[in-house]
Amino acid sequence: MALKINKIVNGPIPDSFLADETKRLDSLKFDGQHLEVLDQLLLPHEFKYIPVNDVSDAFNVIRSMQVRGAPLIAVVGSLGLLLELNKSSELNFRAIREKIDYLISSRPTAVDLRNSVTGLIPILEVEGITDDVKLAKCREYLLNVYTAEKLQNRILVWNAYQELLSAFPGKEKFTVMTICNTGSLATVSWGTALGVIRALHSENRLNLAYVLETRPYNQGIRLTATELLHGQVPFKLITDSMAAWAMKNHQVDCVLVGADNVARNGDTANKIGTYMLAVLCKHHNINFYPVVPFTTINKNISSGEEIKIEERPASELLRVNGVLVGNSECPVWNPAFDVTPAHLITKILTDFGNWAPDALEEQIPK
């Protein structure tokens, strides 16, 4: 899948749009030779960057959820593989393919990672060029996963922002709701859904954002709240079970969410609880928007029924910050994601335009 396929809505994007980089947190540090990632399990109480030197390190920080968020997972996996290839002077196709499969297994629902690292395979299979040239092209490709994400994210956030202005003509300020964390801690830039909320605030178009705490990992209270406090964005934290009551009583204009996997028909997999929000939006006549980069579109599956849903350990539900809050023998079902059917989605907002779900497939390059 190509890394760049951009369509700017109502462009060009003004230089002033999200120009203040001090308003966002850095999910990683990369100087071309060394990679450090922010350990998100320690937030909000400690900001600590930990080194990632190879594929094994990348797998571990992704699997443990020290790093999370579909775009960021893809970048960290790609850079981990890049650093490992930088140590090698020989091309070993079998070994690289094993490392690709290993990385994908760290979070199997996150299609961005799969799309990014499997992009090496066509390079490896090209005939008529030397292994040295292939190795150089692989390194260039993996570095581009990192550099391209910033450009694509800026276009994504702009397109989504323009969609809201178009969908709500004359509206001065928006009240929105979101789940999980989809900001700079989930990307290497401003974020997806939370990036749009940041854009609304920077353009003085945000009234308030309702942030779901997002059990069981509490990404809303630990990560999204941290980002919004840092950026001085107006928000209120609510429990997941308060969403319906907030919609009924506080004039929520739209719900903005991220996604980890989008099928060709528009069915969308995201953090568990997202499907619940879509159903509530349908009842309350509220627009529901997944905000996703092109790399999240999974052209290999026709519907959400084919999306593999990762199930996490029971301990993650029974413990909070390592403290057991339930009986250790309590039976647990802990899916990390759910699938929102396309008919509950208003539009899917992307860096290649904004589309009704039934029009999405025809936009995907063959």
Angular region, 128: left φ>0, alpha ψ -120 to 50, beta rest: left
User: Cis bond leading into 169, ω under 30°?
Assistant: no
8 A C-beta contact, residue 258 and residue 70: yes
8 A C-beta contact, residue 344 and residue 278: yes
8 A C-beta contact, residue 299 and residue 364: yes
Q: How far apart are CA 112 and CA 295, in angstroms?
A: 5
Q: How far apart are CA 284 and CA 278, in angstroms?
A: 10
Q: How far apart are CA 249 and CA 88, in angstroms?
A: 60
* Cross-strand partners of 269: 261, 339
Active site residue 260: yes
Given the residues 57, 112, 260, 267, select the one marked as catalytic. Answer: 260
Q: How far apart are CA 286 and CA 143, in angstroms?
A: 40
Task: Return the residue matching tokens 């799969």.
Answer: 114
Structure tokens, 314: 């029971």
Cα–Cα nearest to 264, from 289, 296, 291: 296
Catalytic residues: 260
